[in-house]
Structure 1
Amino acid sequence: MSSLRQQHSIIEEKDDKWPTGDQNIVRYLIKKQKFDGLWDIDAENIEHLTGKPLSNFSSFNNQSTLISAIVFVVFERRFATMSAMWHGVAQKARKRLLDLLGKDAKQLESLLEDIRQQL
């Protein structure tokens, strides 16, 4: 492995380490949002974020949709005082989630409410 490739690998490892402190967690989540509005994080990150395994949340047929809905709810609940930091990415995610649910606002609200109750 080339030296440059090793350095890049080390940097990626550091970037994927779960951050400490609310502002750093919000920054990490903002950075992990994909272009389409969903989040590129895994079940381990959800457990760090919520203190609960992903399997505790209502089963939903699409894991990336469920993960993104969980992040959205956590922004609203846990990081409400920092909404200026995350409001834009949350709106983008909400629009994408709504699109994925066939523009069914009731289904989106039901999913978000299920998650709120499980947090």
Structure 2
Amino acid sequence: MLIALWIINGMLALAFLGSGGMKLLRPKDALASSGMAYVEDFSAGTIKLIGALEVLGAIGLIVPLLTGIVPVLTPIAAIGLAIIMVGAVVTHIRRKEPPVLPAVLGAAAIASAVLGFLVVTS
């Protein structure tokens, strides 16, 4: 189970580091012009906050488990990312856009949380 957790967390961490980093580093207009039209529904500060939470969540998926320092934070980070993805799915449905990518990332985050709790408590 530990190997499966590392595989899922590695993929999730890469995805959230990429998307969160992009939200942190690029201005709102650049995000909108690159195909992220949903950013028009949020303030620039909210977009930066979402990006920061995604980056912190990605770090939380890897660092606690890697160091062995409070490893229970790994599944907690996955739960936080799943909650963010629920919000993303709702936003995309409200805008009549396909919610497939955030739904898949949310499901993977839930799988990571379940595996994480199983690994940490065993």
- Bin the TM-score by the shorter chain: 0.3 to 0.5
* Greater fraction of residues in helix: 2
